[in-house]
Structure 1
Amino acid sequence: MVKIAVIADPHFHDITYRPGTDVASAIRTLADTCGSTRIFNESYHALKALLDDIVRRQISIVIVNGDLSDDGQAATMSSAAALLRQYAATHGLRFFATPGNHDLYAIHGRHQSKRFIDADGGNTLVTSDPAAAIGRSTARVVTAEMYCGGYERALRDMAEFGFFRGDEVRHWETPFGDSDDLEARTFEIRSADGETVRRMIDASYLVEPVEGLWLLSIDSNVFEPKPGDRDPTAEKSYIDSTDAGWNSMLRNKPFIFDWMRDVARRAAEGGKRLLTFSHYPIIDPLNGSTELEAQLLGNTSFVRRSPAADVALAAAATGIKIHFSGHLHINDTALVRDGDDFLVNVAVPSMVGFPPAYKIASFEGDRLEVETVTIASVAGYDAAFDLYRVEAAATGEDFRDLLDASDHADFLSRHLAEMVRRRYLPKEWPADLARLVPELTLADLWRIAGVSESLNAEDVRPGPKDEVHAWGAVPFMDLMVDWYRLRKGREIAFDFIPADRLEAYRVLARRYAAGSWTASSAQARLASFLSILESYLDSNPSRNFAVDLRTGRIEARPATYLGRTDLRQMGVA
């Protein structure tokens, strides 16, 4: 039995080297971290901890599901690739990667700019763009080491990770044949009006690392030219697939679907075990609640990044059966079925976003077994904390809650809470509902559900304390943060939310489901919010499970990993 580790979105950032300088500290500002969907500096030690865990489990084949680097900067890509080479040389790990949207950009690449904390708490802007404004920084450094390369540069940096034919593989091919010459791996891509045409590299490949195992890496990045005769070297000349993902694949790379179908057929005929992976999810990552979320919140990033139904069905029709994705930093298992066709998408979490985990896959007869490993403890998780405190003192920012984190997983859980306050509530939620979140408790939500009259959110006010329900004093803000924990972590989130609070959420959801109000009322929208939460609680098994490769049935498996009790002992549950 061959076990395969699947990791996603390491976003590795080298905190020991500041590009373009002789400064041995490259700590990104915590203010920028709090405004991002991922943490930056902690990736340095987190990726090492993850790889050490893989080594400890004696797994040798490792899939990297895109976004190996922070943002594709030349210096960062070099450091990230060097780390993987070190583990390959020292521990015998064999890496097979797919490109992510942060690893490269179109033909010629694009500029990158980052802020690094200085000893006095100020920050220096380090950029590849000579025209970049210094902004709130006190100094600026311009260096080509910050530039994110295009396809050719990035693939050369990651050459050993499956993108070119290796000496130790039994089979290797691309959609274009068996040549690994990049010039032979291009296709024509047009703007929406058909007038602007570019030749773009596709980095997909099929490899057989050991007898009987086929790994199909799909390059799901698409860089579509914008209409008009634009400069092919400029970032603004392209529409990238960060949001579109596989939706853009069906329109711009239909030849990939034909190749997937051919590979799946040959795998079945030859008795090969086929595991497909790409950076973007190929099935709705919200497990069917996307429409409800769109009605409640509008066109959120999750909604924009959800593959359309026709895309999922087209992928299922190819016969690949199993697909592992990254990009969204979530833990999820989704299934699409169309007659005898089915496809399971396994969304792999990231070590730089809640929850910190990776997947282990193994084929057992007609089943694929999947185990999810949470990495709660990371040596050096607080390596940047001293500089964060200096930054806080200099800027007046209050980072105390973040800096009280007890370990890596706790830091990510607290970072998610900061994202809810600083990003999700102000940017995704309707202002009238967002106003209620810091004001109300669960007791208030219970009381509002008992009002038969449809209320406007503007008319809702906090009420008296609830003497009946022990959970009544829980702030609505805690529920909101837990909603996002469940959205991103599914079953893993259970380790970070007290069981009595989860039960309280179910009780509230049932109370709202029994009511009837006008669609625009506060109660109806809260009912939708809680209905989505219930779908997260009752989604497909996403932690330890098996997929029947004949029927597509997904069955939960007992836990054999670090569990809830251990996490509580570490103070993160």
Structure 2
Amino acid sequence: MEITKLLSRRSFLAGSAKAGTVAAAAPLLTACTDDSKDRPQDPGAPDFANMKVAMLADVHFHDVFGDYEFSDYNSEVTIRSMQDSVGSTRMFNENYFAFISALEELGEQGIKYICLLGDFTDDGQIDTLAGFNRVVKPYIEKYGFEFFIANGNHDPVRPFGRDQTKNFLRHDGASVQVTSDFNRGFTPGSIVQEQHKTERMFGAGYEHMFDVLADYGFRNKPSYLHYETPWGSEQFEDRGLNITGNDGTTAWCPDATYLAEPENGLWICSVDMNIYTPRENGDWDLRAIGWEEGKTHKKEVFEWLKDVTRRAEEQGKALIIFSHYPITEYLNKSANDFYYVFNDASYNNTRVPTPDTADQAIAAGIKVQFGGHIHVNDTAVHRNEQGSLVNIQSPSLAAYTPSYKLVKPHSPDLFEIETHTLKHVRDYDALFPYYRREMDWREWAGADVPWKIMLEAKDYRDLMFRHLEVLIEISLKNRWGEDMKTLFEARTPLFWLMALSELETNINSSQILSLLNVMNDTASDDDVISRADSLNIGADMIQAINAVYAHIAEYGLNRQQMMTAAFNEICLATLYQRNGDELALEDLSYKLLIPVNVATDLFARHDSDGDLDTIDWEHDYVGGNPKNGGEVKMEDCDLNTIKSRFAALARLYYQFRHAQPADHFFIDLKLGEVQDMAGNKLFI
């Protein structure tokens, strides 16, 4: 075996940003050197050398050639509008082509087993489930795929189904409201002009899902060597438990958890952690926080998992456990800082599993779990006295960064994980002509078209990159505190942000705005000092600018390099890394990342306790709570508030640098250790 070591993307973040220093690539695990192919094999032994399982999360499949019985409106395709897509965390149509591309890619690699980690459809409509079957069956016949599905909060949306309503794009660029609710009223508008009612839009429940998708793990098959559920049966009426809601109402709820052995030695376990709680009026609630509620409402599943993990270890099985939800804290202990800076409730502390949940998972014997739901690429390790638990988050195929995980169990205790990103997707731009009609219609109706840049995408990965940028511009930033939004829209260069952070005087909002008016990329030091003089802080500004020069000199950088990056680019780079982890570094220029890392090193001085590994809620957040970050009004903002934002950014970048590998890595399940492989190429 010849080994070539390269500088990994993780090494760049983990190493010092100072000039002339790079971190060495991580050493290889010795277990990677496998001479088992030279030894005679027991015909009855598991074939670990050829086991490969793909993990696809949050496909959000929508059938763009579906049958919603509305051919009078659009006889060619049944697609959602681009306007709807850019207002969502995911694309609605192009994921159809991305899913097919992923299947073709997996087939060419010889992968047989494919796990879908929930939200495999976009709300589980009757037509969507039929379309899913129609798309995958030819690939099953061609490549011999075996699918194993975990259901997510989008499939099904409720245990026994629920009406759904979506806007579809009409052939001329207007929209049609399509609904399964035959009692729903409708008022035409300039964009959504008509309503169409069809039962095929109905979001089906568990029973229909079990019937239509029975061959994808939900029911036993002759080819399985072993199959079981926690309920001792695979029949719908037996698979479930009584759940009590917040108002005391108790009702029976189905559960889709199962264990299948498709080949000797490989156990694939899909865990249903959708927790629907009944209400007195007959409806159901779904908070979509998974394991955090599951430990209370699905104790039977935890007990069953404890038995499954024990048997797997005794019998030498490679056990792959997956669900729709993360089982540990994700985002490198940064969820609250993301909430504080970017006011994104999708990543706040109410969605992050508590340490107690991870502890209970370890008590159940779980050593590694694959999850989705959050649309991020991430690896996290939780340890306690009983052992270790590795949670691997697979990103969504329908969002940035569109990727899937490939799992290779080299033994029951050693897993290799590779992350494959979809870049070249055939027909990724096939629907662009329809979006141009939509653009024309919106312009005629006097509506904004904020997504024109999307139609310039050069490939699928670039399309998802642009999607996140547009989502931030038209939606996400509007939730931020006004100070964050002001800095973003002012596009203030890093050099001046650093100078602001070094001011010792706690200036008010009007003084901050006055400085921002001159702090652009063409302003000289004298220009800014002159404005500061008019605010009676000239001497303070001179000291601050000198401190910035001293800081960047330590890293071998100059003023111009710190002027090339602005605050809006910091925000974009941060959110790209939140979604893609080290995968995002391929799309972000080092000319941006180096100044950002240098700036955040300076911002770290404003962390209240000087420890970037911890958060002092009382002093690090406005009002002692990260959720207050989105409530900041500019008139109430002072420089100390902005410094607290900068300190949170410093903590985010500290965690980026010290995160677990999330691209190509090994997991030693006995030790709970993760070994980075992104900096090594193997030639065997």
- Normalised by the length of structure 2, the TM-score is 0.78
Q: Does 1:325 align with 2:371?
A: yes
Equivalence for 1:285: 330
5+ residue gaps in structure 2?
1-48, 444-448, 525-557, 609-618, 623-639
Which shows bigger deviation, 281-290 or 260-269? 281-290
Give the secondary structure class of the aligned counterpart of 1:438. helix
Which amino acid is 1:388 matched to? Y
2:454 counterpart SS class: helix
Match of residue 538 from structure 1: 658
**Alignment check: 8 A CA contact 1:5 1:359 kept:** yes
Task: Give the aligned residue type for 2:414.
Answer: R
Q: Corresponding residue for 1:432?
A: 483
> Which stretch has the larger CA shift, 518-527 or 259-268?
518-527
Q: Which residue of 2 aligns with 1:395?
A: 442
Instruction: Rate the CA distance shift 1:294–1:125 in 2: closer, same or farther, 3 A.
Output: closer
1:453 aligns with 2:505: yes
User: Which stretches of structure 1, 4 residues or more, deviate above 6 A after TM superposition?
Assistant: none
2:70 aligned to 21, 37, 41, which one?
Answer: 21
Higher-helix-fraction structure: 2
- CA separation in 1, counterparts of 2:584 and 2:658? 13
Q: Shift in Å at residue 456 of structure 1?
A: 4.7
Q: CA 1:133 to 1:338, structure 2 compared with 1: closer, same or farther past 3 Å?
A: farther
Percent of aligned pairs sharing the same letter: 31
Quick one: structure 1 residues 140 and 18, their matched pair in 2 at CA, closer, same or farther if it must change by over 3 Å?
farther
Say whether residues 1:494 and 2:585 are aligned partners.
yes
**1:181-260 paired onto structure 2 within 5 Å:** 181-194=235-248, 196-226=249-279, 229-231=280-282, 237-242=283-288, 244-260=289-305
Q: Secondary structure at the match of 2:181?
A: coil
Identify if the C-alpha distance between structure 1 residues 415 and 459 changes in structure 2 by more than 3 Å, giving closer, same or farther: farther
Q: Does 2:560 correspond to 1:476?
A: no
SS of the residue corresponding to residue 469 of structure 1 reads helix
Compared with structure 1, are the counterparts of its residues 394 and 192 closer, same or farther at alpha carbon in structure 2 (3 Å cutoff)?
A: same
Instruction: Work out whether residues 224 and 263 of structure 2, in 8 Å CA contact, stay in contact via their aligned partners in 1.
Output: yes
TM-superposed deviation, 1:221: 0.7
| CA positional deviation for 1:516 | 6.6
User: In the superposition, relative to structure 1, how do residues 404 and 298 fare at CA in structure 2: closer, same or farther (>3 Å)?
Assistant: closer
**Partners of 1:559 and 1:435 in 2: CA distance:** 39
Q: Does 148-157 or 105-114 show the bigger shift? A: 105-114
Alignment of 1:371-382 (within 5 A): 371-382=418-429
Partners of 2:494 and 2:409 in 1: CA distance: 45
Cross-structure match for 2:174: 122
Would the alpha carbon gap of residues 390 and 83 (structure 1) be closer, same or farther in structure 2, given more than 3 Å must change?
same
Distance 1:10 1:116 in 2: 19
Which residue number corresponds to residue 528 of structure 1?
648
Q: What does residue range 15-414 of structure 1 map to in structure 2 within 5 Å?
A: 15-22=64-71, 23-130=75-182, 131-134=184-187, 136=189, 137-177=192-232, 179-194=233-248, 196-226=249-279, 229-231=280-282, 237-242=283-288, 244-296=289-341, 300-303=345-348, 304-365=350-411, 366-396=413-443, 397-414=449-466
Q: Distance in 2 between matches of 1:263 and 1:474?
A: 52
Deviation track 1:214-249 (CA, whole Å, cap 9, x = no partner) reads 1111001111013xx313xxxxx221132x221111
Code of the aligned partner of 1:230: N
TM-fit CA distance, 1:559: 5.8
In structure 1, give the amino acid aligned to 2:122: D
**Runs of at least 5 residues in structure 1 that lack an aligned partner in the other structure:** 232-236, 562-573
Q: Residue type matched to 1:21 in 2?
A: F
Q: In the alignment, is the contact (CA less than 8 A) between 2:363 and 2:386 conserved in 1? A: no
Task: Quote the Cα distance in structure 2 between the aligned partners of 1:291 and 1:399.
Answer: 30
Distance 1:202 1:353, change over 3 A: same
- Once residues 127 and 191 of structure 1 are traced to their aligned partners in structure 2, the CA distance between those partners, rounded to angstroms, is 29
Q: Which has the higher contact order (CA 8 A, sep 6+)?
A: 2
Return the alpha-carbon distance in structure 2 between the equivalents of residues 34 and 291 of structure 1.
25
Q: Once the 2 structures are TM-superposed, how far is the Cα of residue 530 of structure 1 from its aligned partner?
A: 3.1
- Whether the 8 Å contact between 1:452 and 1:516 is mirrored in structure 2 is no
Supply the distance in 2 between the matched residues of 1:284 and 1:383 (Cα, whole angstroms): 39
Residue 119 of structure 1 deviates from its aligned partner by 2.5
Taking structure 1 as the reference length, the TM-score comes to 0.92
Q: Is the 8 A contact 1:319 1:342 kept in 2?
A: no
> Following TM superposition, by how much is the alpha carbon of 1:324 offset from its aligned partner in structure 2, in angstroms?
0.4
| 1:347-404 CA distance string (max 9 Å, x none) | 0011100001100001123311000001111010011111111111211214221111
The question of whether the paired residues in 2 share the 8 Å contact of 1:282 and 1:323 is answered with yes
Displacement of 1:326 in angstroms is: 0.9
**2:543 aligned partner:** none
1:34 to 1:516, Cα distance in 2 relative to 1, 3 A? closer
1:453 Cα deviation (Å)?
2.5
Q: Which amino acid aligns with 1:430?
A: G
| Equivalent of residue 506 in structure 1, options 597, 600, 604 | 597
Name the aligned partner's letter for residue 604 of structure 2.
A
**Secondary structure of 1:319's aligned partner:** coil
Q: What is the identity, as a one-letter code, of the residue corresponding to 1:392? A: M
Per-residue deviation, 1:108 = 2.2
Q: Displacement, 1:295?
A: 4.6
1:230-280 Cα offsets, whole Å, 9 max, x none, are 13xxxxx221132x2211111211111111111111111111111100001
1:18, 1:24 within 8 Å by CA — same for their partners in 2?
A: no
Larger deviation, residues 303-312 vs 267-276: 303-312
Cα deviation for residue 489 of structure 1 reads 0.4
| Greater C-alpha Rg | 2
Distance 1:79 1:430, change over 3 A: same
Distance 1:398 1:185, change over 3 A: closer
Equivalence for 1:549? 669
| 1:452 and 1:515 in contact (8 A); partners too | no
Q: Distance in 2 between matches of 1:249 and 1:182?
A: 20
Residues 476-501 of structure 1: CA deviation (Å, up to 9, x unaligned): 11211111100010010001100121
Find the aligned partners of 1:132 and 1:98 in 2 and give their Cα distance.
35
Deviation at residue 458 of structure 1 after TM alignment: 5.6
Please give the per-residue CA displacement for 1:390-432, whole angstroms capped at 9, x wherever unaligned: 11121121422111111100000000011111222112x2122
Q: 1:168 to 1:134 in 2, by over 3 A?
A: farther
Deviations 1:45-66, CA, capped at 9 Å, x for gaps? 1100001110111010111111
One of 472, 495, 516 as aligned partner of 1:443? 495
Answer whether contact 1:490 1:537 (CA < 8 A) is retained: no
Give the Å deviation of 1:444: 2.4
**2:170–2:176 contact (8 Å) kept in structure 1:** yes
Aligned CA distance change for structure 1 residues 132 and 159 (closer, same or farther; 3 Å)? farther
Aligned-residue RMSD, C-alpha: 1.9
CA distance in 2, matches of 1:503, 1:80: 44
